[in-house]
Structure 1
Amino acid sequence: MKRVSTLFLKVAVFLIGLPILALCIFVVPGIADFAAELYPDHAYLKYLVFADLYASAIPFYLALYQSFRLLIYIDRNEAFSELSVRALKNIKYCAVAISILYVAGLPLLYLIAEADDAPGVILIGLVIIFASMVIAFFAAVLQRLLKEAIDIKSENDLTV
């Protein structure tokens, strides 16, 4: 049963990465071109949009990779190990990095929303920032709990 659930989660991690890859390939260039059309005097906005959105994809995929590694540790019965704690720490850092990149890119989203009269764009950016921070806090809590469980386990192993 455990193998089936981790296999399902591995497939889910893989499937989560596919739509983001499709967005990076097909949607991000359109958004960058749209930003350049809205502000033809500031053609460099196109490259700022590219840099911000593609830079945020890097920690996203790093976090997915760390999640996949965490599932492998669970399959190997190494869930209560320092490797799992390190993977959760990396996921936390990736989520914080995504939030920082979107906070830095929020002025670009504001310019696009202001010119196109679409305030929903800013709301989408805020939702991504909020979701990333929730993931970072959740990973931090899991990291702390796992570290405490490992410490308790090592104390019990020494006692027996």
Structure 2
Amino acid sequence: MKQVSTLFLKIAVILIGIPILVMCIFLVPEIGNVAAEMLPSFSYVKYFVFFVFYVSTIPFYFALYQAFNLLRYIDRNHAFSQISVNALKKIKYCAITISSLHVLILPLFYVFAEIDDAPGLIFVGLVVPFASLVIAVFAAVLQKLLQEAIDIKSENDLTV
């Protein structure tokens, strides 16, 4: 049963990466062009949009790789080990990096909301940073719990 559930999660991790790849290929250039059209006096904003989105994919895919490794550790009965704690720590740092990068682009959402007179657009810009921050907090909590479980396990191994 454990193999089936981790297989399902591994497939889910792979399927999570595909839409982001498609977005980077097709949607990010469009977003950059729209940003350049809406702010013609700041033509370099297009490259700033490209930078933020493309650079944020690096920690995203690294976090997916670490999640995939974490599932492999579970399959090999190494879930309660220091390598699992390290994988969660890396996922936490990746989520913080993604959130920080997308916070840099929030002023553009404010400008677009002012131009289009759509104040709800600012909340759309907050989705990725907030979701990344939630993932970072969740990974930090799991990291702490796993570290405490490893410490308790090692204390019990020493007393027996």
The answer as to 2:154 corresponding to 1:154 is yes
Q: Distance in 1 between matches of 2:117 and 2:60?
A: 29
Q: Tell me which residue corresponds to 1:35.
A: 35
Once the two structures are superposed, residues 79-109 of structure 1 have per-residue CA deviations (whole angstroms, 9 ceiling, x without a partner) of: 0000000000001101111111111111122
Instruction: Kindly state the Cα deviation for residue 118 of structure 1 after the two structures are TM-superposed.
Output: 3.5
- Unpaired runs of at least 5, structure 2: none
Question: What is the TM-score when the length of structure 2 is the normalising length?
Answer: 0.96
Instruction: Kindly state the Cα deviation for residue 55 of structure 1 after the two structures are TM-superposed.
Output: 1.5
What amino acid is the match of 2:109? L
Residues 119 and 54 (structure 1 numbering): CA distance in 2 closer, same or farther, change over 3 Å?
A: farther
Instruction: Kindly state the Cα deviation for residue 131 of structure 1 after the two structures are TM-superposed.
Output: 1.2
Once the two structures are superposed, residues 102-148 of structure 1 have per-residue CA deviations (whole angstroms, 9 ceiling, x without a partner) of: 11111122223322333343212212111111111111010000000
User: CA RMSD, aligned part only?
Assistant: 1.1
What amino acid is the match of 2:143? Q
Q: Distance in 2 between matches of 1:71 and 1:120?
A: 38
Question: What is the TM-score when the length of structure 1 is the normalising length?
Answer: 0.96
SS at match of 1:78: coil
Once the two structures are superposed, residues 5-45 of structure 1 have per-residue CA deviations (whole angstroms, 9 ceiling, x without a partner) of: 00000000000000011111000000000111112221101
Q: Distance in 2 between matches of 1:31 and 1:119?
A: 18
- Unpaired runs of at least 5, structure 1: none
What amino acid is the match of 1:47? Y
* Preserved CA contact (<8 Å) 1:49 1:108: no
Stretches of 4+ moved more than 4 A in 1?
none
What amino acid is the match of 1:111? V
Percent identity between matched residues is 68
